[in-house]
Amino acid sequence: MRGKLTQIEILDKAWDLISQRGADVSIAEIAKSAGVSRQNVYLHFGTRGGLLIALVRRADLRFGIKTEFDEALKLQDPRERLKKTLDAWLEFVPKIYPVASELIRLRATDKEAAAAWEDRMADLRDWLLDLTHSLKQDNALHESWTSETAAQYLWAQSSVQIWGLLTNDCGWTEENTATKMAATIADSILGSFSPEPN
């Protein structure tokens, strides 16, 4: 029990440090912040890469995104199913943005950061593909989309990168960003279930 608790404490301290100072923080700094030895960190996670992957997976559990996606997938109305999924994701993005943007920044030069980011993105693409398969089965996707291309488009258009450009570079509010992104995606991929324009 204590070992599991220590893992969570290390991950939460690492999350806070990376959010504040960037993903270049060392294992020694993370260990010091968590009140454990460097050896203890390596004992729990094996490598820095292992720590980063555990860190991003912990965020999913900590903020409950998979539970939200599962709940959305149960909805009968395709439009509501898509809306709830996008609402859940676009509420999650601001919570993970400080760490996610660091992993994105480092992934071209840091294989461990790239592996951690791809680990989460692979799961996200799978979750979105489950959604678009369900939309296709309900004849809710526009005829120009396959389940696969709709999932890819949804993944790209709701990405952390685009969210960051709109909120940071363009100065949009988080609420306006989420509303516009969700509406644009729904208008693009849904057929007769497309929401009425505001």
Which pLDDT value is given to residue 48? 87
Nearest CA to 188 out of 123, 137, 140 is that of 140
Which pLDDT value is given to residue 5? 62
pLDDT at 150 over 60: yes
What's the fold here for domain 2-46? Answer: Arc Repressor Mutant, subunit A (1.10.10)
Which pLDDT value is given to residue 25? 86
Domain ranges of the chain: 2-46, 59-189
Which pLDDT value is given to residue 192? 64
Over the chain, what is the mean pLDDT?
91
Query: Where is 189: in which H helix or E strand?
Result: helix 174-189
Percent of the chain beyond pLDDT 70? 94
Which pLDDT value is given to residue 157? 97
Query: Cα separation of 170 and 186, whole Å?
Result: 22
Predicted TM-score (pTM) of this structure: 0.86
Contact assessment for residue 7 and residue 41, using Cβ atoms and an 8 Å cutoff: no
pLDDT at 4 over 90: no
Q: How far is CA 179 from the centre of its chain?
A: 17
What's the fold here for domain 59-189? Answer: Tetracycline Repressor; domain 2 (1.10.357)
pLDDT at 196 over 80: no
Query: Cα separation of 87 and 181, whole Å?
Result: 10
Which pLDDT value is given to residue 90? 97
Span of 40-44, 83-87, 180-184 with lowest mean pLDDT = 40-44
pLDDT at 109 over 90: yes
